[in-house]
């Protein structure tokens, strides 16, 4: 258990500073060297850490931030890393199992949506550590650690900033899926914005996905048409689509539109 805690803590500290259809087999070509740092852990052992991601590690959002955090921790601590991105929900468990069978010491799951598959796989691999970002604190097995940032505080900080910035008194929030942490961020965002300015209206929508860039553009354009001038998102690649819409609107509109990353 000390190994599980040490691995998860090292990753959690880095993830906290960095900020969610594909094949079931982890791509061997998609591996990265951990760098030349001295190995951490037991003796000369070099720990191997893999990440499963349903979005793309180059999405400019949640997927990229989590991947970069893993790589930073790996470089500091001498880990070897690998990843599988654009993984369909039906393949979460298969991808995790593939890495477990390849001898990885920890599997990093950057989102609450992986919880059910993680519980399923972790029972069969009690000697492997699993770290779920935004996972519930009640995840049942001893080898699963939840890395849980304070979603309420994140929402409050973004909402207070947006309330101070808005010129139109209309804000936009785009979520990926209606998971508890995203809903908490939205609630905090709206409450803080209205505490700053009671006249604020918050428009919100969920994409039903974390990787639908086109849906992000569609939702943002709809809110822009209703005069939203400050956005906050919790939707990974969907956020990238929203930012594309914001960039286009800033090229042609009279009001500057901002996005809080």
Render pLDDT for 101-111 as a digit per residue (tens, 0 to 9). 999 999 999 98
Mean pLDDT of the chain: 85
Residues 52 and 114 sit within 8 Å (Cβ to Cβ): yes
% of the chain exceeding 70 in pLDDT: 83
Q: How confident is the model at residue 250 (pLDDT cuts 50, 70, 90)?
A: very high
pLDDT in tens, 53-83: 988 888 777 888 899 999 999 999 999 999 9
Query: Which pLDDT does position 61 carry in this prediction?
Result: 76
The H-assigned helical ranges of 2-85 are: 2-18, 62-77
Instruction: Give the DSSP letter of residue 147.
Output: E
Closest CA to 174 of 147, 213, 135, 133: 213
Q: What is the dihedral of CA 82, 26, 17, 207, to 10 degrees?
A: 160
pLDDT score, position 95: 97
Provide the 8-state DSSP code for 113. G
């Amino acid at each position: 258990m000390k190994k599980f805690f040490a691995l998860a803590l090292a990753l959690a500290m880095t993830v906290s500073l960095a900020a969610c259809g594909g094949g079931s087999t982890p791509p061997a070509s998609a591996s990265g060297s951990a760098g030349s740092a001295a190995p951490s852990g037991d003796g000369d052992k070099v720990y191997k850490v893999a990440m499963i991601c349903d979005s793309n590690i180059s999405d400019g959002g949640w997927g990229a931030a989590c991947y970069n955090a893993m790589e930073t921790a790996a470089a500091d601590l001498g880990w070897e890393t690998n990843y599988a991105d654009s993984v369909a929900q039906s393949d979460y468990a298969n991808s995790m199992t593939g890495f477990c069978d390849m001898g990885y010491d920890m599997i990093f799951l950057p989102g609450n949506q992986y919880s059910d598959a993680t519980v399923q796989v972790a029972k069969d691999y009690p000697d492997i550590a699993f770290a779920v970002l935004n996972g519930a604190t009640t995840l049942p097995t001893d080898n699963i650690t939840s890395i849980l940032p304070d979603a309420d505080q994140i929402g409050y900080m973004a909402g207070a900033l947006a309330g101070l910035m808005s010129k139109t008194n209309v804000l936009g929030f785009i979520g990926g899926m209606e998971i508890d942490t995203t809903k908490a961020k939205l609630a905090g965002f709206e409450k803080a914005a209205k505490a700053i300015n009671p006249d604020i209206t918050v428009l919100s929508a969920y994409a039903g996905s974390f990787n639908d860039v086109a849906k992000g553009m569609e939702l943002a354009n709809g809110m822009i048409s209703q005069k939203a001038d400050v956005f906050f998102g919790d939707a990974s690649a969907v956020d990238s689509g929203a930012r594309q819409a914001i960039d286009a609107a800033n090229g042609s509109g009279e009001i500057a539109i901002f996005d809080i990353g």
